[in-house]
């Protein structure tokens, strides 16, 4: 209680854009590959004025520019494997640090294992921030394979066209990424959302869960 009061006074003196501003809304949009995170994130950022940080998009940007980081990332992404943690975390931290004056972040594709979760908590903690909620989009494996193969027809992503690579991504999700849900569940921050239905229905479920955390 006393700590809260002190934080409140500090916030007033520091102003709305200060690093100790803890009224930010930081969301992890979570779920298996192809569960609709990217699509829904675009709608959520519009409504809440957040910065969308997709590690997959950041890697694809680097690949597009043929940077060293891009070449390295590509060698993992093409097999459906995770890019090494130090590379991914460094890139994520750069993006967060370069954009301090936002209403919050929506993390899409990050964290992908518990080690990355701990790193994210530290990165936000340095700013007096925290993860407010993790929203998991639940979609079953067969639906995912169907969706990604369909996306592959137009996305131009080599990891979207080969069923064995897609299945590898799903099994990495189940083995390494799913524990991230439990990590935030222990902090009472994890929420499950049915990821099957129309885009509008899923968006409504997500925004209801976000508004419930305010």
The whole-angstrom separation of Cα 195 and Cα 46 is: 20
DSSP 195: -
DSSP 144: H
Does 136 bind ligand ADP (CB under 6 A)? Our answer is no
Q: By CB under 6 A, how many residues form the interface with ligand ADP?
A: 20
- Cβ–Cβ < 8 Å for 125, 202: no
Residue with Cβ nearer ligand ADP (109 or 133): 109
The whole-angstrom separation of Cα 134 and Cα 140 is: 19
Quickly count: other Cβ atoms within 10 Å of residue 157's Cβ.
Answer: 15
Among 55, 117, 136, 190, indicate the residue that binds ligand ADP (CB under 6 A).
55
Quickly count: other Cβ atoms within 10 Å of residue 154's Cβ.
Answer: 8
Does 59 bind ligand ADP (CB under 6 A)? Our answer is yes
What phi, psi does 192 have (nearest 5°)? -95, 135
The residue whose Cβ lies closest to ligand ADP is 56
Residue with Cβ nearer ligand ADP (10 or 157): 157
Does 152 bind ligand ADP (CB under 6 A)? Our answer is no
Q: Please tell me whether residue 38 adopts helix, strand or coil conformation.
A: helix
Catalytic residue among 112, 147, 189, 205: 112
Catalytic residue among 37, 74, 147, 205: 37
CB of 80 to ligand ADP, least distance (A): 6
The whole-angstrom separation of Cα 61 and Cα 25 is: 26
Query: Candidates 2-10, 17-25, 40-48, 74-82 — which segment interacts with ligand ADP by CB under 6 A?
Result: 74-82
Residue with Cβ nearer ligand ADP (22 or 158): 158
Q: Which two tokens stand for residue 86?
A: 């130090």
- Which residues are annotated as catalytic? 37, 112, 151, 157, 169
Contact set with ligand ADP (CB under 6 A): 33-34, 37-38, 55-56, 59, 76-77, 80-83, 88, 109-110, 112, 116, 159, 169
């Amino acid at each position: 209680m006393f700590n809260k009061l002190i934080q409140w006074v500090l916030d007033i003196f520091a102003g709305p854009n200060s690093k100790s501003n803890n009224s930010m809304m930081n969301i992890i949009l979570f779920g298996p590959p192809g569960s609709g995170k990217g699509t829904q994130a675009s709608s959520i950022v519009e409504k809440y004025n957040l910065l969308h940080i997709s590690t997959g998009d950041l890697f694809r940007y680097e690949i597009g520019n043929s940077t060293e980081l891009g070449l390295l990332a590509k060698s993992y992404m093409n097999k459906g494997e995770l890019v090494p943690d130090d590379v991914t975390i460094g890139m994520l931290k750069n993006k967060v640090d370069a954009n301090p004056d936002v209403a919050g972040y929506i993390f899409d594709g990050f964290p992908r294992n518990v080690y990355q979760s701990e790193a994210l908590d530290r990165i936000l903690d340095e700013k007096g921030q925290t993860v407010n909620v993790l929203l998991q989009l639940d979609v079953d494996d067969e639906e995912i394979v169907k969706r990604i193969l369909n996306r592959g027809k137009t996305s131009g992503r080599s990891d979207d066209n080969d069923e064995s690579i897609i299945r590898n991504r799903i099994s990495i999700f189940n083995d390494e990424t799913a524990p991230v849900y439990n990590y935030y569940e222990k902090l009472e921050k994890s929420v499950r959302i049915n990821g099957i239905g129309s885009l509008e229905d899923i968006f409504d479920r997500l925004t209801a869960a976000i508004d419930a955390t305010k």
